């Protein structure tokens, strides 16, 4: 197999350079295919030398409006990052707990995690998705020309992306067991959460963290919400490595 691309984006102050460094380390440990790792950011301070840095693509968004991941859509530019070939996008806050090799051999043109918070909907979770660089430029072009309309129709980037890929007949999902949500699959039910700690579901490869908690909070048992109780998950330290 030819060299593949792993890309991530870092903007704002939500995630420090540590998250990029840990993501690279996890990829290097769990991918047996030659890869090019690129982080798109405006601030590369503290990011390890193995990571290729490119500028964060511009996207015209109203000042002060909720970001909601819209900037991810810039990866569908025709000449994005001067990259070519098969590309896996990873959010900075995922925790890789298994081999990534099959993410590049699983059949399908566009693959994304299925959002299990709303399993009856087509919506994907864009924490981990695969595509071919240069394909589907219309995804970004339509948004740039109709951003106000799109934002009135859907809440965030992954809902729009899923809808448009579904229209094209290209929307496919990773096997559910590969990409469990920490909140919905790793954590026990509310009653059990008082005496049972979160664990890694069988078959998991990439654990998704969306909303709260993030990995450091999950390690200490801080759910980030007063109404949600979780036990500490020290096992995350074994995988969320530097």
C-alpha count within 13 angstroms, C-beta hemisphere, residue 118 = 8
Structure tokens at 210: 């969306």
Q: What does residue 22 show for φ and ψ, rounded to 5 degrees?
A: -70, -40
State residue 61's pLDDT score. Answer: 65
Sketch the domain layout of the chain as residue ranges: 4-92+101-176
CA 115 – CA 226 distance, rounded (Å): 24
Greater confidence (192 vs 199) lies with: 199
Helix (H) or strand (E) holding 6: strand 4-10
State residue 165's pLDDT score. Answer: 97
Greater confidence (55 vs 192) lies with: 55
Residue 63, pLDDT above cutoff 70: no
| pLDDT digits 0-9 by tens, 136-182 | 999 999 998 998 899 899 988 999 999 999 999 999 999 999 999 99
Q: Which residues of 150-166 are buried (b: 16+ CB within 10 A; e: fewer)?
A: bbeebebbbbbbbbbbe
| pLDDT digits 0-9 by tens, 110-141 | 999 998 777 788 999 999 999 999 999 999 99
With H, G, I as helix, E, B as strand and everything else as coil, classify residue 65. Answer: coil
State residue 67's pLDDT score. Answer: 63
State residue 155's pLDDT score. Answer: 87
Q: Which CATH superfamily is domain 4-92+101-176 in?
A: Spore Coat Polysaccharide Biosynthesis Protein SpsA; Chain A (3.90.550.10)
């Amino acid at each position: 197999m030819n060299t593949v691309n792993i890309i991530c984006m870092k903007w704002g102050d939500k995630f420090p350079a540590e998250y990029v460094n840990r993501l690279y380390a996890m990829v290097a440990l769990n991918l047996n295919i030659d890869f090019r790792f690129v982080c798109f950011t405006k601030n590369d301070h503290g990011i390890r030398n193995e990571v290729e840095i490119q500028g964060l693509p511009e996207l015209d968004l109203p000042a002060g409006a909720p970001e909601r991941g819209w900037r991810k859509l810039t990866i569908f530019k025709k000449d994005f990052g001067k990259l070519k070939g098969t590309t896996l996008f990873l959010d900075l806050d995922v925790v890789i707990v298994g081999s990534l090799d099959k993410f590049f051999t699983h059949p399908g043109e566009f693959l994304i995690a299925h959002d299990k918070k709303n399993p009856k909907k087509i919506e994907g979770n864009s924490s981990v998705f695969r595509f071919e660089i240069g394909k589907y430029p219309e995804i970004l072009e339509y948004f740039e020309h109709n951003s106000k309309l799109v934002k009135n129709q859907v809440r965030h980037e992954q809902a729009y992306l899923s809808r448009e890929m579904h229209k094209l007949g290209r929307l496919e999902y990773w096997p559910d067991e590969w990409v469990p949500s920490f909140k919905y699959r790793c954590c026990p039910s509310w009653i059990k959460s008082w005496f049972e700690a979160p664990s890694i579901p069988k078959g998991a490869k990439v654990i998704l963290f969306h909303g709260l908690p993030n990995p450091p909070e999950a390690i200490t048992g801080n759910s980030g919400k007063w109404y949600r109780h979780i036990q500490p998950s020290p096992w995350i330290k074994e995988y969320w490595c530097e």
